[in-house]
Amino acid sequence: MAGSDAFLDSNVLLYLLSSDAAKADRAEAILRSGATVSVQVLNEVTNVARRKLALSWAEIDELLALVEAFVAVEPLTVETNRLGRTLAQRHQLALYDAMIAASALIAECRTLYSEDMHSGLVIDDTLRIVNPF
């Protein structure tokens, strides 16, 4: 799947499983429009799905297969780590949020959908963080 201008944080994907129908529908619409995620996002979804939602490994595999059908996946690299550390310092972001922003920039995305980052923040005059909910 080719990427798009949109990059998704793990919380957007986790809303696919939400009992809040409006948020689940919004997350599904964003996913269906095509997007990019990073391996870190897939790892975070897996961790929350196991630890907080008590999903089985088979259920997680099914969820991630569905997600991967609609997104491009950006790998984690040393370049991602270096840029992420720079962004954390420059924009006072939490380290893992900065790594997600770094992956979005490397993937040349223009919008980072996240519920819990600084909505409205523009990073490097290129990437805008948007709370889709």
Phi, psi of 35, deg, nearest 5: -160, 180
**CA 86/CA 28 separation, integer angstroms:** 32
Q: What per-residue confidence (pLDDT) applies to 3? A: 53
Tokens describing residue 72? 């491009």
Work out the pLDDT band at 1, boundaries 50, 70, 90. Answer: very low
User: Is the separation of the CB atoms in 12 and 132 below 8 Å?
Assistant: yes
C-beta atoms surrounding 119 within 10 Å: 15
Residues ≥6 apart with Cβ < 8 Å to 30 = 6, 8, 12, 113, 132
Report pLDDT digits (tens) over 43-87: 999 999 999 999 999 999 999 999 999 999 999 999 999 999 999
C-beta atoms surrounding 103 within 10 Å: 27
Q: Average model confidence (pLDDT) for the chain?
A: 94
Work out the pLDDT band at 6, boundaries 50, 70, 90. Answer: very high
pTM of the model: 0.91
Q: What per-residue confidence (pLDDT) applies to 4? A: 73
Give Cα 27 distance to the centre of its chain: 11
